Amino acid sequence: MNWNKSIFLAHANEDKPIVRKIAKRLKEAGLEPWMDEESIQFGEKWSDVADNAIKKARFFMACLSSKSVSKDGYVQREFRLALSQLELKSPQSIYFIPALIEEVDLPNISVGTIHFGDYHAVKIFEEHEFNKLIQQLQKQANIDVKIKQRESPNFAELRTAIANGKLDSAIRILLEYVKTQDNDLQNSVTLLAARYNRISKDNLMGIVNQEQYAVENNRITYSLLETIKVLEEGNDG
């Protein structure tokens, strides 16, 4: 595993379905998430392997829900171990990331002078905050992002991003670009972004099933391609 891209995902067992989706998004962004079910070999001592992974990880993400903040057990021990690691790191280092997968208060946990509540939490169930977190982690890990915002996007590149399922990247680029376009195009892309954020959040929270998620994503994809076609025709004119 590449240390600079490694991220330990601490979570309650009950939250595994959601955390698997989070891990998938992080992998797609070029990061290397650590989850016990994928990283521990048969016959290994679970606690020793997990503790070692926490100490060696570039980032530690505390996935917070009503389950993980209220239950006693190993997930609370992982939180404390990660806080203890902060004492060994530079104050400017980004390592400990509280990530809310639902609306909950941060747990009242302290290790020495390090307090859980001192660290800014990201509402990972909000698509725009999840995207912002991914961009921050990519920057910290020096991950080269091939698709970047630009004043005049390459429409072929946008189509490739959409074909590869990177709707969030395509929407982000289009939102930036249509700021200079007419109000109808701005409204169209803004509404598409809102639809994508809503269905992504509902999928992450398990509110919609995979079939409903796929159908709505296909509709958004078609609308994005139609918008790109309009932009191309406008440039040609």
Locate 207 and state its tokens: 């509110």
Within this chain, do residues 45 and 132 fall inside the same structural domain, yes or no? yes
Q: What is the pLDDT of residues 174-183, one digit of tens each?
A: 887 877 666 6
Within this chain, do residues 14 and 81 fall inside the same structural domain, yes or no? yes
Please identify every stretch of the chain with a pLDDT value under 50, giving residue numbers as ranges. Answer: 147-151
Q: What percent of the chain has pLDDT over 90?
A: 31
Within this chain, do residues 135 and 160 fall inside the same structural domain, yes or no? no
| pTM for the whole structure | 0.65
Cα-based distances in Å from 78 to 5, 40, 162, 163, 173: 19, 16, 38, 39, 38
Q: Which among 109, 140, 171 is the end of a domain?
A: 140
H or E element in which residue 96 lies: strand 96-100
What pLDDT shows up at residue 63? 95
Within this chain, do residues 94 and 210 fall inside the same structural domain, yes or no? no
What pLDDT shows up at residue 74? 79
| CATH code of the domain covering residue 131 | 3.40.50.10140
Give the number of domains in the chain: 2
Within this chain, do residues 163 and 207 fall inside the same structural domain, yes or no? yes
What pLDDT shows up at residue 81? 92
Tell me the residue type at 231: L
Residue 148 falls inside a structural domain: no
Q: What angle do CA 236, 228, 158 make, to 5 degrees?
A: 110
Which residues, in sequence order, are bridge partners of residue 60?
8, 96
Domain that holds residue 173: 155-236
What are the two backbone dihedrals, phi and then psi, of residue 6, each rounded to the nearest 5 degrees?
Answer: -80, 140
Within this chain, do residues 25 and 123 fall inside the same structural domain, yes or no? yes
Within this chain, do residues 228 and 164 fall inside the same structural domain, yes or no? yes
Q: How far apart are CA 145 and CA 93, in angstroms?
A: 22
Within this chain, do residues 108 and 173 fall inside the same structural domain, yes or no? no
Within this chain, do residues 130 and 184 fall inside the same structural domain, yes or no? no
